[in-house]
Amino acid sequence: MKQFSFQISQRACNRNMRCLCFLLFFTFSSNVWCYEDVSITNYIKTHNGYLFLRNLMTQTLVNETLNQGGPFTLFAPSDGAFFSFGQDKLNALSVGQLKRILEYHVVNGFILTSSETKDKNLTTLLGASILISPHGGHLDINDNNTHVGPTSDIIVQNGVIQPINHVLVPPEKYLPDETIIQVFLLDNIKFKDIYFALLFGNMVNHLENGTYTVFAPTDEAFAKHANRLLDPSQPNANRIYQVIMQYHVIPGEIRSSSLKNGPIFSEVGQAINITLGNGVILNNYARVVEADIYAVNGIIHAIDDVLVPPNIQELIMG
For ligand NAG, the binding residues (CB under 6 A) are 41, 58, 61, 63-64, 67, 119-121, 131, 144, 209-210, 271, 273, 283, 310
- Would the CA dihedral through 299, 302, 306, 307 be positive or negative? negative
Q: What are phi and psi of 46, to 5 degrees?
A: -105, 5
Q: What's the CA angle centered on 86, arms 111 and 62, to 5 degrees?
A: 45
Least distance CB 96 / ligand NAG (angstroms): 14
Whichever of 15 and 118 has its CB closer to ligand NAG, that residue is: 118
Residue 65 has φ and ψ, to the nearest 5°, of -55, -45
CB of 210 to ligand NAG, least distance (A): 6
CB of 285 to ligand NAG, least distance (A): 9
Q: How far is the CB of 294 from ligand NAG (least distance, A)?
A: 18
Q: Which is nearer to ligand NAG, 8 or 131 (CB)?
A: 131
Nearer to ligand NAG, 34 or 57 (CB): 57
Nearer to ligand NAG, 64 or 314 (CB): 64
Beta strands in the chain (DSSP E): 3-5, 19-25, 29-36, 72-77, 106-108, 120-123, 129-135, 138-141, 143-147, 154-156, 159-164, 212-217, 249-251, 262-265, 271-277, 279-282, 286-295, 298-303
- Of 144 and 236, CB closest to ligand NAG: 144
Query: In whole angstroms, how close is the CB of 58 to ligand NAG at the nearest point?
Result: 4
In the complex, minimum distance from the CB of residue 157 to ligand NAG, in angstroms, rounded to a whole number: 13
Q: How far is the CB of 206 from ligand NAG (least distance, A)?
A: 7
User: 171: Cβ–Cβ under 8 A, 6 or more apart, which residues?
Assistant: 128
- Rounded least distance, CB 29 to ligand NAG, Å: 27
If the CB atoms of residues 149 and 210 are measured against ligand NAG, the closer one turns out to be 210
Instruction: State which H helix or E strand residue 53 sits in.
Output: helix 51-60
Whether residue 71 is preceded by a cis peptide bond, meaning omega within 30 degrees of 0, is yes
Query: Who contacts 178 (Cβ-Cβ below 8 Å, separation ≥6)?
Result: 186, 295, 296
Between residues 64 and 220, which has the closer beta carbon with respect to ligand NAG? 64
Query: What torsion do the CA atoms of 74, 80, 85, 86 make, to the nearest 10 degrees?
Result: 130
List alpha helices for 78-152, DSSP H: 79-85, 87-91, 95-103
Which of residues 41 and 157 has its CB atom nearest to ligand NAG in the complex?
41
Nearest to 299 by CA among 203, 187, 179, 168: 179
